[in-house]
Chain A
Amino acid sequence: MDGSGLPEIRSTCAYCGVGCGVLLRPDGAGGLDVRGDPAHPANKGRLCSKGSQLGETLGLEGRLLKPRVNGLDSEWDAALDLVALRFRETIAEHGPDSVAFYVSGQMLTEDYYVANKLMKGFIGSANIDTNSRLCMASTVAGHKRAFGTDTVPGTYDDLEEADLVVLVGSNLAWCHPVLYQRVVAAKKARPQMKVVVVDPRRTATCDNADLHLPLKPGTDVALFNGLLTEIAAQGAVDEGFMAHVEGFVATLESASDDDPARTGLDAATLQQFYDLFVRTEKVVTVFSQGVNQSSSGTDKVNSILNCHLATGRIGKPGMGPLSVTGQPNAMGGREVGGLANMLACHLDIENISHRSAVREFWSAPVIADKPGLKAVDLFQAVGEARIKALWVIHTNPAVTMPDADRVRDAIKDCPFVVVSDITAATDTARLAHVLLPATSWGEKEGTVTNSDRTISRQRGALPAPGEARPDWEILSEVGKRMGWPSEFDYASPAEIFREHAALSGVAGGFGKDFDISGHADLTDGDYAALAPFRWPYAGTRRGGRFFGDGAFYTESGRARMVPVKWKDFAQKTAPRFPFRFNTGRIRDQWHTMTRTARSPRLSAHLAEPFLEIHPEDAAELAISPASLVRVTSTHGTALLRALVTDKVQKGEVFAPMHWTGETAPAARVDALVPPVTDPISGQPESKGAVVALAPFAARWYGFAVSCTEMAPESDYWAVARAESGWRLEMAGSEAPADWETEARRLFRLPRAEVQVVSDPRRGSVRIAFHAEGRLLAALFVSPEPVGVMRSHVATLPGAEAPHVLTGRAPADQPDPGPVVCACFNVGVNTILDGIETQGLMSVDAIGAALQAGSNCGSCRPELAALLARAKTPTPEAAE
């Protein structure tokens, strides 16, 4: 059935914290057509490459459709009974703090609410933490220190109204592309608007910047302390606003003690930035993981907030600090209290009256009275067997936690592990005793909150497959079976939402800002039709900005400027570990890729894990482009593909964090990250490991394509989806005795027709398998990184491809090159050719002629870079 006649369903995107609205239309084949929702305030119809390809990530392949207990299919009742029993027994024997939940910023608020209620009000422990701890806990802590509450003061509209946008530790172009496009559009409309990027790397975001400050990693506090000093020196302090602020003198004193030269930036550049900031009233400072993921992350946040407080540039149109979150519902998690050091609805765990109020509201038998274990401590406790029963929901800590190998081992050794997820194929799910099939994006119903406090409905457009159930229902079922049948007797997410809204009214009664009690009486129909709204929503309070009026949520009611000073990383570079190891995201992948890796288009851009390294460092270490690098830290090791580029500075390297045991087991980069945290926020220092680098002594490199899943076993491998099957990069330190035998094993093709080219003296061999004239699989092996035009060969499985072993497109069929534009599948060679032969002189001209960059815009920085490259021909450009 074609769904084109059906009305589109409004929902939100599954990915980052921008929280874009999407319109979903079932395609009648189990999939969805997805487009941006023009009516949603976050994106106004735009979508990025990831959001545009949401439809490609659906389908039942790899979905967990039935509960599993100890690897065997189980019935729901048996599985739920077992979970309830083991948690009850563990609590009875070892106390409530012997169990823990580790949840996710991808859960919906309603799911989150039930998990938090179950742990804090009924089990009686606060051992519920979330992967948001890895994402923006430092911002939560910084907000609370400065404002007395965890509240984003402004809205996205400030980006358009600002005259200066400062992006700190944020590759907005790749990580929050729609906000980036809003900034780009605003700057295009008002060219006098300035953009400054503060980032050690020259990221795609720098393309639109007037000024890039490539500061030394970890020196943000010194930079903003210098700024505060300059604000004071230039008389830019808002004396009137100072009535609402405390700590100015001590903070300024501390700031003037700091030395902005630590940033490594020259004085003129610093002055240029400081003057720009001081002289521009309407400033928005956007910050993200480059600030948060640090052992001094909270101080970094406050160093930024200090400058906005000092100038009174907060909570007014076009002004203020704007934390952008990495996950679709990190903010919802913060609101319900899904972090170990919060209670619920912005209420405080340490506050006895808050505790009593919440306990009373929930009719709870107990209430947690002290903060629980934050993520890093929580898994340490699992490793030390202090946590004996663990429930992980929609997240992959065996990959994403610092010291990931130890965390993986800890989970493996934990006496009882439950994992709720949409797939059994994650590093963490493989360690579970009980696997519970949950509904996925596109199927589930609830709400999410984005980075500017906008709460939107996520709606289901597809039926739940197999026996999958929504998380709120799974959690409620366990709550009921643990002994609280009426307290967890929810019939719908609407009912949970109403309870949450009502509880926020209790918080409002305590003077808290998060209050959506105006929606506590929504009917099911109202909930179904709920349009996006920004909190608060209670009485006469409706959304808007915070703090512009000088009203804060501290005890004194005044904002606090916090004296901070630059602190070095926990790990110092030393001769044994001379490189600073930065981690982060790439444009077309999301977290551990359980969803995005299913999309061939999203996989085409960067289809394997890599290490960005400066050309001079690479030359010194004899690391050649596209070879493999052994990266070793104090805690782990990884093999990564060398991407030699001067986008990183000397002495610094960068690796994406997406690859896992499922996609590239030698590239679990968080295994290299030490488990050091910010003392206040508990957020790990994910961007501050020190590492040693060495060329990997590969005897052979391989590339393979296949119609079906492969079974790689080599030292290095990375698998990705291709248009018709899979593609695989490999390398090994020892070659198998017989490549044809190895290829048949790899592809599981014991008898298929073979085609072989071998150059035994060189150690290169190419093997293809065909059936009925169509290519099943092909393997290319060479002693050096194997020369194959990937973008061409990856399209061949399933097609008639007698010439596949050439590894090239024939001369009359030009190779489009690696994909730059994921929306329209436009390759780098096509674009360079267009620039050369059609005289395309601008990003817009490329879009008009080739479509590239004309949909989501995520690749526009790369198009600009290609234009620049074409104008100054280099040897690389010819390749």
Chain B
Amino acid sequence: MAKKLIVIGAGMASGRMLEHLIDANPDAYDITLFNAEPRGNYNRLMLSPVLSGEKTYEDIVTHDAAWYEERGVTCRFGEKVVAIDTAAKLVTGEKGTLPYDKLVIATGSNPFIIPLPGHDLEGVIPYRDLEDTEAMMALGADKRAVVIGGGLLGLEAAAGMAARGTEVDVVHIMGHLMERQLDEAAGYLLRRSLTEKGIRVHCKANSKQILSDGNGHVRALQLDDGTELPCDLLVMAVGIRPSTALGKEAGLEVNRGIVVDDHMVTSNPDVLALGECVEHAGAIFGLVAPLYDQAKVLAKTLLGEEARFVQKEVATKLKVTGCDLFSAGDFAEGEGREDIVFRDPARGVYKRLILEGNRLIGAVMYGDTADGAWFHGLIKDATDVEEMRETLIFGPAYQGGGRCGPYGGRCSLTA
């Protein structure tokens, strides 16, 4: 008889993991899937196109209840898990307790809400799920919104609302937008593009408090210089926190996230975890690529196959039409680091490559990101780029054929 597998959380990571597992061996486990939200999973990455109206919810659903049922997965959607007993290997949901042989925790993360005065007013939301998205979509024209957070998510939220006619202010505490992915120059170009879309961007701006309209609803955000930014909706997009409560209560080792080893196994050998709730080698995860890698590893671990999760450089793309940016690797300045920069302000194109020794370690691009995947590959593979350095920044179309020969290539002589 098949072993019992319980999965807590129907997000992108667990969905992908189950896909791998069932594809490899549909009969290995008897699977039960808990999900606090009353639905299967959708591609959270694609919420922004839904917000901006480029896609609908139906477009972004990846694994709905029917998909799971077809594969014999018992879905307990809309039911929260309330306790885990690792000694007895039991999971208790709101509607009852089940035994497991293996347990997978994929509870994801919670958006971080800055505890500003007024953060609990009506109309103050994070940007995390379909409900948040729908709230923003519902706002419409003639209304005003403030987004706190000039990172990836905040900007997608701002651009999505702006596309629907909402007047949007973005408040960002740092000197330039997306400072974790962009350098100052690219951040400047991004800011310029957003400004052209009508979005007002406030950098180096500290939020002081959220003001009420007197009826418990948000009226404005006040900055510490006294500026008031009126709004009907305030979106906080200032980061996420791994959702670790269940794990902690179950007695698993938890730091910032639920600690897993290279096999995605927690401190309890029968409990595994993946996704935004885990911490691996000190790192937590917010982008999709490593989550999919984890899904692959975890599925193999469940099948008793050897697989290890290895953290790789992660590339970022911002899904805002007209703001084509790409960022990968490490681009902080430092000893022994050299950079190659391409600037084309008239066309709004900026590229910066960061090298250490003969290896590419980081890439930031704005305005023309067609070669992003290629650069990302060079970073991940630690390719020796010395021979291509002269034309490296121009991408793969200008490689090959080797270096220019001396005559005709390095002087004006024919020989």
Contacts and interface: CB of A to CB of B under 8 A. Distances in A.
Interface in B377-415: 389-391, 393-394, 397-398, 400-415
A225 to B, nearest CB: 36
Contacts of A786: 410
A651 interface: no
Interface of A is mostly: mixed
A806 interface: yes
Contact of B414 (A759, A820, A878): A820
> Which one of A605, A624, A807, A820 has the greatest number of beta carbons of chain B within 10 Å?
A807
A820 B407 CA distance: 12
B346 A785 contact: no
Contacts of B391: 806-808
A790 B411 CA distance: 8
Contacts of A703: 412
Q: Which bucket holds chain B's interface residue count?
A: 20 to 34
A879 B413 contact: no
A787 B410 contact: yes
B411 A626 contact: yes
B398 A810 contact: yes
A596 B411 CA distance: 20
Contacts of B346: 753-755, 770
A828 B408 contact: yes
Among B338, B398, B402, B412, residue most surrounded by chain A Cβ atoms (within 10 Å):
B412
Nearest to B347: A802
Contacts, number: 130
A190 to B, nearest CB: 32
A757 B397 contact: no
Given A787-B390, A806-B398, A759 B338 contact: yes
A607 B412 contact: yes
Interface stretch (A214-222, A248-256, A811-819): A811-819
Contact of A762 (B342, B389, B403, B407): B389
A585 to B, nearest CB: 15
Nearest to A865: B415
A808 B392 CA distance: 12
B282 interface: no
- Could you say which interface size class chain A belongs to? 35 or more
A817 B408 contact: yes
A879 B391 CA distance: 16
B359 to A, nearest CB: 14
Contacts of B404: 787-789, 807, 879
B405 A790 contact: no
Contact of A805 (B394, B397, B403): B394
B345 interface: yes
B412 A785 contact: no
Contacts of A701: 410
A641 B394 contact: no
B109 to A, nearest CB: 39
A458 B349 CA distance: 58
Contact of B407 (A625, A770, A808): A625
Interface in A775-830: 782, 784-791, 802-803, 805-808, 810-811, 817-820, 828
A610 B342 contact: no
A760 B343 CA distance: 13
A755 B414 contact: no
A727 interface: yes
Contact of A756 (B343, B401, B405): B343
A645 B413 CA distance: 12
B349 to A, nearest CB: 8
B408 A757 contact: no
Nearest to B408: A818
Contacts of A605: 414
A182 B404 CA distance: 38
B287 interface: no
Contacts of A625: 406-407, 410
Nearest to A767: B343
A2 interface: no
A626 B410 contact: yes
B402 A818 contact: no
B344 interface: yes
Given A764-B390, A807-B391, A641 B411 contact: yes
A803 B394 contact: yes
B24 interface: no
Interface string B336-366: 0011111111110000000000000000000
A760 B338 CA distance: 8
A758 B341 contact: yes
A693 interface: no
B409 A610 contact: no
Contacts of A762: 338, 389
A806 B394 contact: yes
A802 B415 CA distance: 30
Contacts of B411: 608, 610, 626, 641, 729, 785
A756 B413 contact: no
B343 A755 contact: yes
A720 interface: yes
A643 interface: yes
Contacts of B406: 624-626, 644, 785, 879
Nearest to B400: A811
Contacts of B343: 754-757
A803 B391 CA distance: 11
A718 B394 contact: no
A786 B414 CA distance: 15
Contacts of A791: 408
Contact of B403 (A757, A787, A819): A787
B410 A818 contact: no
Contact of A606 (B345, B394, B412): B412
Nearest to A628: B411
A643 B407 contact: yes
Nearest to A808: B398
A876 interface: yes
Nearest to B412: A607
Contacts of A828: 408, 414
17 contacts: A607-B413, A624-B406, A643-B415, A645-B415, A753-B346, A755-B342, A755-B344, A756-B343, A759-B341, A760-B338, A762-B389, A782-B390, A808-B401, A817-B408, A828-B414, A862-B414, A879-B405
10 tightest A-B contacts by CB? A879-B405, A607-B412, A787-B404, A818-B414, A785-B410, A625-B406, A626-B406, A818-B408, A761-B338, A753-B346
Interface of A: 604-608, 610, 624-626, 641, 643-645, 701, 703, 718, 720, 727, 729, 753-762, 764, 770, 782, 784-791, 802-803, 805-808, 810-811, 817-820, 828, 862, 876, 878-879
